[in-house]
Structure 1
Amino acid sequence: MIEAEVNRTSQATTYDVATIMGGLYGDGIIGLKGAFSPEWVQQLDEDIRLLYQEALNRPGGAVGRGPKRHYVEIHPEDIRGFVDLATHPWVTAVCEAVLGPAYKIVEIGFDIPNPGAVHQPWHRDFPAPADTITGRRLNSLAFNLTTVDVYEDMGPFEVAPGTQWDLPVGFEHEMFPPKESYPRYEERAQRKMPRIGDISARSALTIHRGTANYSDKMRPTLVLGVDAPGANNAERHDLQITRAYFEKLPQSLQQHLTYRLVDELEPIFQAHSIEGLMMGEA
């Protein structure tokens, strides 16, 4: 197995809690450059491309996120680097700082904007919970890791910093802000163009969108979803782990998984379809 050791000086590496909290409670997104080696990311890219083809050939295997764009939920053991990812010191530091020591991994999958993908409408990934709207607390995070160097023409991820706190007034399905709000998001918008090895963490409530992919390349991005105690995002997913795989996992990781133990992995039929993304931006 290829190990992810580029920026791991030791497992005792510490990251500043104030910086983490300030970034996620402020802009709503933070990142770490060079977290994983190019060789490790190449291995991940190989796994994702194979899984993508399998999902496209299986009914319900890939869910649309707009024209020429799919999301595929997978099993942790489908990728060779899951343990490296889930136990990376920066990932665990971010989870502990924002979600507390009892955080749970509830989802793993990947997003694929293919050539020809169009602008998505500005959106959240799910409705803001009461913890955020009234309690002003983030109770979930999404980690993103690209498997390719991202350039302007490849449909980079675009985010409107600070909008995780926007009240969903006039939002369709509590996720899609009204179009009269778009100028504000476009004024704030930042396009993220990470390189191989970089990882980010964000609140999925921060208003964002995928942009148009004018290139001839797909842009695979791994997604790891994590909840604080009391969040209910696990209900949208089906994190399966075989007993044989579970027994090999570090105990420190076992306690941070929300899972269904199975003897054999079952195909995932993605339930969290975001209908408002299917047509792209109007």
Structure 2
Amino acid sequence: MTTVSTGPAGGTSAAQTPSTAQSDAPDVDFATVGDVVRDLYTDGVSARKGAFSAEWADRMREDIEEAFEEARHRPGGAVGRGPHRYYVEIHPEQLRDFVDLVDHPWVRAVCEAVLGRDYSIVELGFDIPFAGAVNQPWHRDFPMPDVTRERRRLNSLAFNLTGVDTTEDMGPFEIAPGTQWDLDDGFEHAMFPPREDYPRYRELGVRKFPQRGDVSVRSALTIHRGTANHSQLSRPVLVLGVDAPGAGNDGHHDMAVTHEYWRTLPERVRAHLHCPVVDELTPITQKHTIEGLVMGDAEPDSPDAGMGGGMAGPAPEEPEGDDS
């Protein structure tokens, strides 16, 4: 059985000593949480600046880089999300500060306010656009659920944390506020709007420039895209997916924890982590096949960009088994 590394090279395994250090951020007041809920139901996105330190974000990036190295050398380890852009799903033990993230007062408060006290953590992964990545097609991350279409209720959230200080030339994330309510008539796979709608999304689109330590939260239904990376650097972004009871997105992910790691987790983290508890972790095979295929169809106005540097200089090899 192939196993997954659970700590950075030369470091302490996260399975043995998960982080329990709390953020210096104060508890979140009701007014702040109310503002975030309003943002999510109007714009479809909100954020907390400086939730963590830059050093915390640097550790996160180290863990992302190690996980990508492991994933890109096995079939299905990293799925293409467009030219020179990849997505990898990981287990909680592969992120040393997983507990810091999911137990952060702002993250907890937002999850409870939008999704209810019985929310579930269903996804942990990361996106990496490398040098030469082009504009993605505008999209949402999954089809609109009935509860949103019929009752205008959001039943899932995606938290994003950048591993770098984002600049204009690094292919920043772009989002079209208010489009979480757009009906999917004519959308390919119920996720990709027709190209004739692109001018509207470009007009609405807002590019985001998060810095290390910032946390954003959005409805994954809000139409968005990654933009062209003209720099020689990668822009790794951690993704944490959270569901309301019954949302069903856990069926699209294979997150697990070991018995050893489970015993170290605070009870209030265990209460929201409903994934399998196993003797030994196995690497996750990515399931984003539709997104991988369609994301390869870059927007016509994307510039022709050659492949440049990766996370630490030279461009990575194409992940084995990635046919997108």
TM-score range, shorter chain: over 0.9
Query: For residue 53 of structure 1, what is the aligned residue in structure 2?
Result: 69
Instruction: Say if 1:156 and 1:211, in contact at 8 Å, map to a contact too.
Output: yes
1:153 paired to 2:169: yes
Instruction: Say if 1:2 and 1:39, in contact at 8 Å, map to a contact too.
Output: no
In structure 1, how many angstroms separate the alpha carbons of the residues matched to 2:55 and 2:186? 46
Instruction: Say if 2:155 and 2:244, in contact at 8 Å, map to a contact too.
Output: yes
Name the aligned partner's letter for residue 298 of structure 2: G
Name the aligned partner's letter for residue 14 of structure 1: D
Gaps of 5+ in 1: none
1:218 paired to 2:234: yes
**1:169, distance to aligned residue in structure 2 (A):** 1.1
Query: For residue 245 of structure 1, what is the aligned residue in structure 2?
Result: 261
Name the aligned partner's letter for residue 82 of structure 2: G
Name the aligned partner's letter for residue 24 of structure 1: L
Helix, strand or coil for the counterpart of 1:187? helix
Helix, strand or coil for the counterpart of 1:71? strand
Name the aligned partner's letter for residue 42 of structure 1: D
Identity over aligned pairs, percent: 59
Instruction: Say if 1:4 and 1:40, in contact at 8 Å, map to a contact too.
Output: no
In structure 2, how many angstroms separate the alpha carbons of the residues matched to 1:181 and 1:272? 24
Query: For residue 14 of structure 1, what is the aligned residue in structure 2?
Result: 29
> What does the per-residue CA deviation read over 1:159-179, in whole Å, with 9 as the maximum and x for residues that have no partner?
000000000011111101111
1:89 paired to 2:98: no
**1:218, distance to aligned residue in structure 2 (A):** 0.2
Q: Which runs of 4+ in 1 moved over 6 A?
A: none
Q: Report which stretch shifted further, 242-251 or 14-23.
A: 14-23
In structure 2, how many angstroms separate the alpha carbons of the residues matched to 1:33 and 1:221? 15
Equivalent runs, 1:115-126 vs 2, <5 Å = 115-126=131-142
1:280 paired to 2:298: yes
Instruction: Say if 2:83 and 2:134, in contact at 8 Å, map to a contact too.
Output: yes
1:33 paired to 2:49: yes
> What does the per-residue CA deviation read over 1:226-269, in whole Å, with 9 as the maximum and x for residues that have no partner?
00011010010011100110111000010101201110100100
Name the aligned partner's letter for residue 135 of structure 1: R
1:44 paired to 2:60: yes
> What does the per-residue CA deviation read over 1:132-168, in whole Å, with 9 as the maximum and x for residues that have no partner?
1111100000000001000000000000000000000
> What does the per-residue CA deviation read over 1:170-209, in whole Å, with 9 as the maximum and x for residues that have no partner?
1111101111111111111000000111000000000000
**1:271, distance to aligned residue in structure 2 (A):** 1.1
Helix, strand or coil for the counterpart of 1:109? strand
Helix, strand or coil for the counterpart of 2:251? helix
Query: For residue 127 of structure 2, what is the aligned residue in structure 1?
Result: 111
**1:15, distance to aligned residue in structure 2 (A):** 4.5
In structure 1, how many angstroms separate the alpha carbons of the residues matched to 2:145 and 2:257? 28
Name the aligned partner's letter for residue 297 of structure 2: M
**1:58, distance to aligned residue in structure 2 (A):** 1.4
Name the aligned partner's letter for residue 5 of structure 1: S
1:99 paired to 2:115: yes
In structure 2, how many angstroms separate the alpha carbons of the residues matched to 1:59 and 1:200? 31
Query: How many residues end up aligned between the 2 structures?
Result: 279
Query: For residue 222 of structure 2, what is the aligned residue in structure 1?
Result: 206
Helix, strand or coil for the counterpart of 1:145? strand
- The CA RMSD measured in Å over matched residues stands at 1.2
Instruction: Choose which of 128, 131, 142 in structure 1 pairs with 2:147.
Output: 131
Helix, strand or coil for the counterpart of 1:51? helix
Name the aligned partner's letter for residue 278 of structure 1: G
Query: For residue 266 of structure 1, what is the aligned residue in structure 2?
Result: 282
Give TM-score, length-normalised by structure 2: 0.84
Query: For residue 95 of structure 2, what is the aligned residue in structure 1?
Result: 79
Query: For residue 12 of structure 2, what is the aligned residue in structure 1?
Result: none
Name the aligned partner's letter for residue 194 of structure 1: P
**1:37, distance to aligned residue in structure 2 (A):** 0.8
Helix, strand or coil for the counterpart of 2:151? coil
Name the aligned partner's letter for residue 156 of structure 1: P
Instruction: Say if 1:4 and 1:84, in contact at 8 Å, map to a contact too.
Output: yes
In structure 1, how many angstroms separate the alpha carbons of the residues matched to 2:126 and 2:269? 21
Instruction: Say if 1:4 and 1:35, in contact at 8 Å, map to a contact too.
Output: no
> What does the per-residue CA deviation read over 1:2-34, in whole Å, with 9 as the maximum and x for residues that have no partner?
84524x13xx43242321211000000000000
Structure-2 change in CA distance of 1:15 and 1:76 (3 Å)? farther
In structure 2, how many angstroms separate the alpha carbons of the residues matched to 1:279 and 1:245? 40
Structure number, greater radius of gyration: 2
